[in-house]
Copies of this chain bind each other. A is one copy, B any other.
Amino acid sequence: MKIGVFDSGAGGLSVVKSLLADNLFDEIIYYGDTARVPYGPKDQNTIIRYSLEALEFFNNFEIDLLITACNTVSAYALPEMNAQSSYPVVGVIEPGVLALENSDLAKNDNILIMATRATITSRRYELALEKLGHTNITSLQTGLFVPLVEEGIFEGKLLDATMEHYFSAIEQPKAIILGCTHFPLIGEKLKSYFKDEPILIHSGEAIVEYLERRYDLEVKEEEASLKIFASDNVAGLRKIADDWL
């Protein structure tokens, strides 16, 4: 299976890491729209327009499936992208919600959704969880973790102060949805900040589980080949890939 991965920037490489781990795919084509990252603060129409332009990039490759690693794209542009492509386009929100549902969470356990402005405003995670009967959901815009991760700040006083800034007044969560591709990189710190180590829902792991079931995928002998492209500073993106993967 040859899959495309689309992200607004470098963050989607955290999803690629999971895709590579399980040897389920033949080839992975990654495209980051680094010239226009971040999508989070942009208008819905602009997010849709940029996402449809990414489809044109993937038309150069005969992919079987496209994953939108970016939560913002997953929240806003999936119907439009699916309408304009010959292959399925799968986002990270539905897989994340299903992964949570497969854990042994009670309906009134507190679930914390951490994401950037656009994803929280879309209420996609929230509505899907409410539909499944969850009654205790905290939605939080935690956009400042994105530049911290991009600056390589994974621990220390500034990260602690940022967690305190966002979390000092909220309920203790039983599970956290990492609703932005950057957040798995501070996953361990988030776990240790809260008491009783909450369950973390990681988009990469969730989507692998989802595709494995839906397409009945089998483990290959060889690791998938990975090609990385970007709309700007492709060398920088490949360097991040070397560091992360």
Contact = CB atoms under 8 A, between A and B. Distances in A.
26 contacts: A34-B42, A35-B36, A35-B46, A36-B36, A41-B150, A42-B232, A42-B233, A43-B232, A43-B233, A46-B232, A46-B233, A143-B151, A144-B147, A144-B148, A144-B151, A146-B147, A147-B147, A157-B161, A157-B164, A157-B165, A158-B161, A158-B162, A158-B164, A158-B165, A160-B161, A161-B161
Contacts of A43: 232-233
A160 B160 CA distance: 13
Contacts of A42: 34-35, 232-233
Interface residues of A, number: 24
Nearest to A166: B158
A132 to B, nearest CB: 31
Contacts of A162: 158, 161
A150 B147 CA distance: 12
Contacts of A156: 165
A128 to B, nearest CB: 26
Nearest to A156: B165
A45 to B, nearest CB: 8
Contacts of A164: 157-158
A233 B34 CA distance: 20
Interface string A112-150: 000000000000000000000000000000011011101
A24 to B, nearest CB: 33
Contacts of A233: 41-43, 46
A41 B233 CA distance: 9
A144 B159 CA distance: 12
Interface in A70-129: none
Contacts of A158: 144, 161-162, 164-165
Contacts of A157: 161, 164-165
Nearest to A47: B232
A226 B42 CA distance: 24
Contacts of A161: 157-158, 160-162
A157 B150 CA distance: 21
